[in-house]
Amino acid sequence: MRYPLLSALAASAAVAAPAASSYDYIVVGSGPGGGPLAADLARAGYSTLLIEAGGDEGENPTYADIANFNEAANDETTRWDFWVKHSDDPARELKFQHTTWDTGDGTFYVGLDPPEGAKLLGIQYPRAAVLGGCAMHNAGVCSMPADDDWNIIVNKTGDASWSAKNMRKYWKRIERNQYLPAGDEAHGYDGWLATSVADNSWAKNDSLPGTKILKRMAELTGQDPAEAANLVNRDINEAGDSVDETTSFYNMVTHADTKGKRSSPNNYIRATLADPAKYPLTVQLHTLVTRVLFDNATLKAGSTPRAIGVEVMEGASLYKADPKHVAGTKGPVSQILATREVIVAGGAFNSPQILKLSGIGPAAELTKFNIPVVKDLPGVGENLADNYEGSLLGLGAAPIESGLITMLFRTPSAPTKKRNIYTWCGAFSFEGFWPGFPAYHGPTQYTCALVHMSPKSQAGSVRLVSADPQDKPDVNFRFYERRGAEDLRELVEGANLLREAWQAAGDPVLPFEELHPCPGAKGGEKCADDAQAEYFKTQAYSHHATSTCAIGGDDEPLAVLDSKFRVRGVEGLRVVDASAFPVVPGAFPSCPTMMLSAKAAEDILADAKKASKCK
């Protein structure tokens, strides 16, 4: 069935002739949420259009080889630069050591002493405009969230299908495990997403400085040092009733195959397109979705608005987050119909922006930019959440021979028995994101990176700066605004434990000279906890944004979606990406978002089946 093309939202957008084609489903965004979903819908026999603002770099070694993840995240071919804030305090913002400035001569300045005339940009938060989304430029870390991160949705909505036990079936459905013998009931072996681990045989060499640090970490966390070489191969994605309360070493899992090739939604999309079954999937690249269209008849008072398609602008580098964007460049505008549903999967920044440009969001914000209100939903763009990340970084007196040490542990002041720190330690440097990251501090650099899980503050926002769909929104995480002192104390406790473990490295590595959070400290000198807390407050970074279109209960004023991903108060419109999570799911959201996508496919197809029976 066709619907009238133009809604009351025509506003100031130039409208071209409508597209001749229509689809059962339109999916906006090809990342961990949208990409697999589009493939699943097409494989179920429904004509599906997948729209991606970027291109396809699936065969480019920068993206295809997981070891090149730093180059991928820096690559202008796909990079979208969001310049975010961590607080509402301008003075505090200018303490961030990797604050970035536009020098005006085509280069960036990173630091606290910019050249005269430089324009403040802010804190870089790179996203990926490419087929496969941010799963194409990340480090590929694949880790299950705590059971409570799933069960919170059950508690909010009453929908038991979100229970942690049930969600594990989606992991088994998509995983192609390549590191465990077939038959482990916690894993899948026939899915589209390859998972693998590193060789941790280095841990059997007791003479290595890294092994000495490993064994001391075991002592400090109640593990058996004699078993450390075995524990480093423990499955980080194991299942069990007490897993979330277990402090242990693990082998880091990545969504890559055993040959080091990245496994991502890009592979699944391309396999679906190439399949001899000729599934009805269409991929439209270099296309910016400007808004969702609604049926005019349903916009009348008393009716429930129904989404019927999208308006798009075609062309490369149209969005102003793209460093290749040329000011004033626009593309032809057209409209595409969806006879069943529109599914927005643009991520935690772009999904709320698209909803707001379409008239769905806080009424006062929409009215400010003369956007006609389709549905007043105060939670759109609110609740922005992220894990806090920081690192303990130092220089040894000699290079530190070591593999990667991965550990999940609980600090003493954690509010529950659950683990709250995910750390990985090795001879690398990682201090956040800025143009050209990471910094290389020489052959003796050693880092323990920390991800603080279950942060207590969730006060961030994604808000419009205009009604222009090419403009980037204003993104402010408001780190530590709520119960921040508690989160900072946990980070400091984690750093103190790891610093103590470093002192076991022995000769010729000792003494370590710490670069942060206690600059200049040597030999394990412990600087004051309040000084470390101030460091983490001003220098924490993140790249796991979620929750700006959160699933919630009927009684929650800021709930945007119901438990089936449906946007509240409208029909034919869902959001399926990390913005749907009520809280950040564990330490790394990429694989949980792919699980969420598989669940969404099941929910959407179940609704389609019901609708067909009613006809």
- 295 and 270 share a domain? yes
Q: Is the pLDDT of residue 14 over 90?
A: no
Give the pairing type, strands 360-361 and 333-344: unpaired
Q: How far apart are CA 574 and CA 604, in angstroms?
A: 9
Confidence at residue 615, expressed as pLDDT on a 0 to 100 scale: 61
Residues 534 and 399 in one domain: yes
Q: What is the CATH number of the domain that holds 504?
A: 3.30.410.40
> Nearest Cα to 343, choosing from 333, 351, 332?
351
- Domain for residue 547, yes or no? no
Quick one: average pLDDT of 539-554? 97
In this predicted model, which residue has the larger pLDDT, 316 or 613?
316
- Segment 63-92, tens digit of pLDDT: 999 999 999 999 999 999 999 999 999 999
Q: What is the mean pLDDT of the chain?
A: 95
Distance of alpha carbon 607 from alpha carbon 343, whole angstroms: 14
What stretch of H or E contains 612? helix 590-614
Q: Does residue 52 surpass a pLDDT of 80?
A: yes
* Contact partners, residue 535, CB within 8 Å, separation at least 6: 390, 516, 517, 518
The answer to whether residue 119 is domain-embedded is: no
pLDDT digits (tens, 9 = 90+) for 345-388: 999 999 999 999 999 999 999 999 999 999 999 999 999 999 99
Q: How far is CA 208 from CA 157, 204, 215, 274, 425, in A?
A: 51, 9, 11, 48, 14
> 3-state SS string over 486-497?
HHHHHHHHHHHH
Query: What is the reported pLDDT for 195?
Result: 98
**Residue 163 domain-assigned?**
no
Q: What is the pLDDT of residue 2?
A: 23
Residue from 446, 431, 430, 448 nearest 396 by CA:
446
Indicate if 524 and 605 belong to the same structural domain: no
Amino acid identity, residue 67? A
Residue 162 belongs to some domain of the structure: no
pLDDT given at position 525 = 78
Together in a domain, 370 and 492: no
Tell me: pLDDT of 19 over 90. Answer: no
Mean pLDDT along residues 5-29: 55
Full residue range of the structural domain in which residue 34 is found = 22-61+261-384+564-614
Does the annotation flag 139 for ligand binding? yes
3-class SS of residue 93: helix
How far apart CA 125 and CA 190 sit, in angstroms, is 34
Specify if 182 maps to a domain.
no
Distance CA 147, CA 243 (A): 9
Describe the crossing of helices 484-502 and 209-220 by its angle, rounded to 10 degrees.
130
Q: Examine the domain organization and report whether 246 and 274 are in the same domain.
A: no
140 is in an annotated binding site: yes
Q: Give CA–CA dist 266/236, Å, rounded.
A: 25
Is the pLDDT higher at 297 or at 101?
101
Across 43-59, average pLDDT: 98
Instruction: Quick: pLDDT tens for 411-447.
Output: 999 999 999 999 999 999 999 999 999 999 999 999 9
In angstroms, rounded to a whole number, what is the distance separating the alpha carbons of residues 479 and 456?
10
The answer on whether 576 is annotated among ligand-binding residues is no
Work out how many domains the chain is built from and give that number: 2
Known binder of ligand: residue 138? yes
Of 31-45, 220-234, 375-389, 512-526, minimum mean pLDDT range: 512-526
Element at 268 (helix H, strand E):
helix 265-274
Judge whether residue 143 has pLDDT over 70.
Answer: yes
pLDDT tens-digit profile of 502-532?
999 999 999 999 999 999 888 777 789 999 9
Q: How far apart are CA 219 and CA 70, in angstroms?
A: 33
Quick check: 7 pLDDT over 70?
Answer: no
Euclidean distance between CA atoms 116 and 100, whole angstroms? 14
Same domain? For 339 and 247 the reply is: no
Rounded to whole angstroms, the Cα distance separating 576 from 50 reads: 13
Confidence of residue 10 (pLDDT cuts 50, 70, 90): very low
CB half-sphere exposure, 446, CA atoms < 13 A: 29
- Which residues have a Cβ under 8 Å from the Cβ of 11 and sit 6 or more positions away? 370, 371, 372, 467
| 3-state secondary structure (DSSP) of residue 536 | helix
pLDDT (0 to 100) of residue 613: 75
Residue 1 confidence (pLDDT) above 60:
no
Give the rounded percent of residues in the chain with a pLDDT score beyond 70: 97
User: Any known ligand binding at 509?
Assistant: no
Residues 526 and 491 in one domain: yes
**Which amino acid does the sequence have at 607?**
D
Residue 409, pLDDT above cutoff 50: yes
307 and 294 Cβ atoms separated by less than 8 Å: yes
pTM for this entry? 0.95
Query: How many other C-beta atoms lie within 10 A of the C-beta of residue 385?
Result: 24
| Integer CA distances (angstroms), 42 to 27, 450, 573, in order | 11, 39, 18
**Residue 614 confidence (pLDDT):** 72
Using alpha carbons only, what angle is made at residue 285 by residues 281 and 287, rounded to the nearest 5 degrees?
115
Task: Report yes or no: 27 and 52 within 8 Å, Cβ to Cβ.
Answer: no
How much is the average pLDDT of 536-544? 96
> What backbone torsions phi and psi does residue 408 show, to the nearest 5 degrees?
-110, 130
Mean pLDDT of 269-292: 98
In a domain, 109, yes or no: no
Domain boundary among 539, 574, 594: 539
| Secondary structure (3-state) at 578 | helix
Q: Say if 477 falls within a structural domain.
A: yes
The type of residue at 521 is A
Within the chain, what is the greatest distance between any pair of CA atoms?
77
Cα separation, 527 vs 414, whole angstroms: 21
Question: What CATH number is associated with residue 376?
Answer: 3.50.50.60
Q: Which residues contact 474 (CB under 8 A, 6 or more apart)?
A: 85, 461, 462, 463, 464, 465
In the 3-class helix/strand/coil scheme, how is 114-173 assigned residue by residue?
CCCCCEEEEEEEEEECECCHHHHCCCCECCCCCHHHHHHHHHHHCCHHHCHHHHHHHHHH
pLDDT at position 522 is: 87
Q: Is there a single domain that holds both residue 315 and residue 302? A: yes
Tokens for 106?
């085509």
On whether both 504 and 413 belong to a single domain, the answer is yes
- Reported confidence tier of residue 460, pLDDT bands at 50, 70, 90: very high
Could you tell me if 406 and 526 lie in one domain?
Answer: yes
d(CA 478, CA 13): 33
On whether residue 519 sits in a domain, the answer given is: yes
Is pLDDT at 218 greater than 60 in this prediction? yes
Arithmetic mean of pLDDT, 485-501:
97
Q: 341: which strand partners?
A: 25
Query: What is the Cα–Cα distance from 349 to 353, expressed in whole angstroms?
Result: 7
State yes or no: pLDDT of 8 exceeds 70.
no
Q: Is the pLDDT of residue 11 over 80?
A: no
Do 227 and 325 lie in a common domain? no
Contacts of 517 (CB under 8 A, 6+ apart): 390, 392, 492, 495, 527, 531, 532, 535, 536, 539
Pairing of the two strands 22-28 and 48-51: parallel
Cα distance from N-terminal residue to C-terminal residue, the chain: 12
Q: Which of 500, 523, 539 is the last residue of a domain?
A: 539
| Whether 317 and 348 share a structural domain | yes
